Amino acid sequence: MTTVITVYDVPADAGAPAALAEGHVVHRAVGVPASYTWIDLGEAADAGTAAELVAEARSRSGALSGRYQAFHRNDVPAPAFDAARPEERVVFVNCMVFAPDRHDAAFAAWERVNHYMVAKPGYRRHRLHRRLDNDAPFGLVNVVEWESPEAWLAAHDEGFRARAGGDLPFTAHPTLCRAVPTGREVAR
């Protein structure tokens, strides 16, 4: 399967985009960080369909879109951040920009941080996607599910900063978001 990832660099008061296809989920930024207002995530059954969806997305105002492949995943959740409270799941999408020849260095830097983050209370799962085409806007896109905004924030502690600090081989474009109602027409 090919994943089509589309981000929308539009004003916060812009209307919600329609999902690109059946089964795609549109997410809305919920606070800081928010590099993008809207993010559309979904699978395409084949490469041709994925290319058509990317072309459609790129015709939309403020859209950056590309074809990606999930190549690193973890579905083993860490302990709860606050077991006494119902989960208010959020999705953290980190879009990483780098030249195609910097993939190995970018992946190594991401892996160093990821090894630490998957053990943080409130972490639920992730999928790391790599670009399939050199014209995709991002080299890597990490999609991480967290128990709550508070769990995500608490995980970004001194240990995180020590691993993520310094001269990273990519420029990060992070967005903390939540899924909005599904279907081709998305409510605002």
Residue 187 lies in a domain: no
CB 66 within 8 A of CB 58: no
Residue 151 lies in a domain: yes
* Domain span at 164: 2-179
Structural domain count of the chain: 1
Q: What is the pLDDT of residue 166?
A: 83
Residue 185 lies in a domain: no
Residue 65 lies in a domain: yes
In whole angstroms, what is the distance from residue 67 CA to residue 142 CA?
A: 14
Q: What is the pLDDT of residue 31?
A: 81
Residue 74 lies in a domain: yes
Q: What is the tens place of the pLDDT at every residue in 18-46?
A: 999 999 999 999 987 899 999 999 999 99
Residue 184 lies in a domain: no
Burial class (CB in 10 A: 0-12, 13-18, 19+), 63: buried
pTM of this prediction? 0.94
In whole angstroms, what is the distance from residue 24 CA to residue 38 CA?
A: 13
Q: What is the pLDDT of residue 66?
A: 98
- pLDDT digits (tens), the chain, 188 positions: 899 999 999 987 888 899 999 999 999 999 878 999 999 999 999 999 999 999 999 999 999 999 999 999 999 999 999 988 888 999 999 999 999 999 999 999 999 999 999 999 999 999 999 999 999 999 999 999 999 999 999 999 999 999 998 889 999 999 999 999 754 443 33
Cα–Cα distances in angstroms (integers) from residue 2 to residues 42, 143, 152, in the given order: 9, 15, 27
Q: Kindly provide the residue ranges of all beta strands, DSSP E only, lying in 24-122, ordered along the sequence.
A: 25-34, 38-44, 63-74, 90-97
* CATH number of the domain enclosing 129: 3.30.70.100
Q: What is the pLDDT of residue 183?
A: 47
